[in-house]
Each structure stands twice: as C-alpha cells, then as structure tokens.
Amino acid sequence: MTTNTESKPFQIKITDAELDDLHRRLDATRWPDPAPDGRTDFARGVPLAYLQELTDYWRHRFDWRAQEARLNRIPQFTIEIDGQQIHYPHVRSPEPDALPLLIIHGYPSSAVEFLELIEPLTDPRSHGGDPRDAFDLVIPSLPGFGFSTPVQETGWEVGRTSAAFAELMARLGYSRYGAHGGDIGAGVCGRLGATDAAHVVGTIVVTDPGSLGLAGEEFPIPDHLTDEERARVEQERTTWRAERGYLDVQNYRPETIAAALTDSPVGQLAWIVEKFQTWTNPASKTPDEAVDRDQLLTNVSLYWFTRSGATAARFLSEAAHSDLDWIAPAGVPNGWVVFNTEPIMRRFMDPQHQMAYWSEHSAGGHFAAMEEPKLLVDDLRAFFGNLR
C-alpha cells in the first residue's frame, strides 16, 4: 500500500441523495410519548416539544447547502498521517509575520465551532485589531470526527492524535507554532506542550466550572480549599456524576450507541443538543439561546453526514483505556481562559498564580468559540502577544 504524505485540496460535497435520505428520516421520526409529568425543562434530558420544534426547523428551514457553501469558502485539505486521513481547514493570514496557530476542537464539536474566530485571527487589520497579532490557522478534525474519517485502525486517542498533529504542523513547514483548544482539544494541547516543546511556543486552553466535576478523577483536590470551597467542588462532582452517562456509554459500550447515532438523525440531534444545553452558560434557557441555531445544526449535520457519531464514540473509548494522564506536564508557557467563571476556579486550578496567562469571564461556557468569540479572540491575541 502506498502512503500519500502530501496535502490534497478538499471540498465538502454532500450528495443530493444523502440530503434526501436525511429529510426522509426526519419526516419518518418515531416520536416517544410525552413525559407523564408534563415537564418541559431539560432536567431529564431534551424535552420532547423542544426537540420536535428543532427537528422541524432542521427539516424545513435549515439550509444545509448555504452552510456547505460557507464552509467551502474556507481553504480545506486532507492529508494521510500514520495511516489516517486528517481533514483540516488551513487559513493563511495576509500578514507576512503571522504566527501559526493550531486550534483543536473537542466533543461533541467540530471545526465548525471556530468559524467566528477565523477572520479576526487571520486578518486583525480588518477587524479592529493590530496586524502584529495575526495568525495562520490550522484547524484539524480529530481522527474519527467530521471528515477525518473513516478510521481504519484502533488506537486513535489523545496521545496518538497529538503526535499526528505535530507531524501535520511539521509537514506544513511550521517550525514554531502555538496551540489552543478545549475539552479533548485541551488534552491534545497539553500533550503537545509536553512532547513537542521544541516547536510549540505556548498553549492556551478554555474551560468552565464543569471541569471541577473531574476533581478526584483527573486531578487531585487541593488541600488549601476552605470548607465552603470543598462543598462547591462536591456540588460539581455530583452534577458530573449525573451528567456523565453519555460518556460512560461511549467509553464502555461504543458499538451500542454507534448503531443508534448512525441510524437516527433525531437521536444524533438529541445526543449533541443535550450537551449544548448543560454545558453552555446557564443563563440561556435553550441551547440555541447560547449559540447560533444554524451553527449548532451545521455541527450536528456534519456528525450525521460523516457518520462520526460512531467513530467519535470509539475515540472516546480509546482515550478512556489509553492509560494516559489527561493533564501532561507542559514544557512551554501555558494559559487558561475560564468562561462562566466563579472565584473558586483560580483558587483550585492556579492558587500560586503560576500560569503564564489566566483570564476569566462571567459570560459563556464550554463552547466559548461559539458563545463568546470576541472575548476568546482577545485572549488569544493577548496570550501569544509576548510569545511571537
């Protein structure tokens, strides 16, 4: 078998047959009976009335072709690395001294999450910024997500992905670059800062108070917290135990949920939309109050058309059984940006103020690039301003 190490231009081309199939499935949805208690909030998942309204919008008013055309205006490529097709938008800045920046999504997201960042970061001169803050952007899809499919081998998790993305930047000719991400993307950034420190100038990640739910699992609970702060951490841990059912299913029974997510577009919609409800700013009553509805449905459609509900579940399962620590010791400057923050976050994550950069915002949530893109752009410019 020959290996193609060169990048190939890529355009998204969902066929009419695939689009018609989606519409037929949406029209033929077999709905559950309403909940007997008549609840319409998200306390037990996505409420039926909201899901039916959103499905009707997806079927009759959402314009996939318009979104596809918008995505195809962004230069995109595929390349084979370590036997896997990697899809990546690559947007070069008009500024000659732009810093290369690798941006990495998480779950249940995709490169669609970063659409509102592209122009301000690559062309700050045209968006009220300093041209010295310009970036070349490389925005790969994680293996098994979007068009980084199909996945031909087992073993794709955070460590192998980090190595592949370091190789991608090297093949693009970038000897110095920064990295940014959230969720899985934050884990990849951390490993890049540890394993490719000779080329990574710095990493900056986004998070929110939900990360406290991982205390005691992925990182220890600090000894210096007050009783009130410990109670707050325990509150988030309790919330996470109720929230993490989606992850346990994908970590331990990925093939079961793979069948459901590949066969039912409404099932895939509900699976993703629930996370956009519980992880975005709690001030929003519905997911599409927190993020743009068409951008949300573009992300869901990408999962549907590429069948990556299944392969994303397998990625999460591989990651859960990889024996890699989620947080790797970085050998480069590291920054954190916390959205929907509260005072305990820095007391927990950076009590000695040792981070190279720390920023907090009361707005936003887990999907910062969709919820508060301008705030995130400002933080990326500020963090990398001294690292160029």
Mean pLDDT by 10 residues, the chain (388 residues): 72 98 98 88 93 98 98 98 98 98 98 98 96 98 98 95 98 98 96 96 97 88 93 95 94 97 98 97 94 98 98 97 71 95 94 95 98 98 96
> Interior CA angle at 329 toward 324 and 332, to 5°?
135
pTM of the model: 0.96
For the residues of 27-66, what is the DSSP string, one character each?
A: HT--PPPPPTT---SSTTSS-HHHHHHHHHHHHHT--HHH
> Which class is domain 44-208+244-384?
alpha beta
Q: Where are the domains of the chain?
A: 44-208+244-384
Cβ neighbours of residue 66 closer than 8 Å, sequence gap 6 or more: none
Per-residue confidence (pLDDT) for residue 84, from 0 to 100: 98
Per-residue confidence (pLDDT) for residue 2, from 0 to 100: 37
Contact between 252 and 339 under an 8 Å Cβ cutoff? The reply is no
Per-residue confidence (pLDDT) for residue 192, from 0 to 100: 96
Return left, alpha or beta for 353; rule: phi > 0 is left, psi -120 to 50 is alpha, else beta.
left
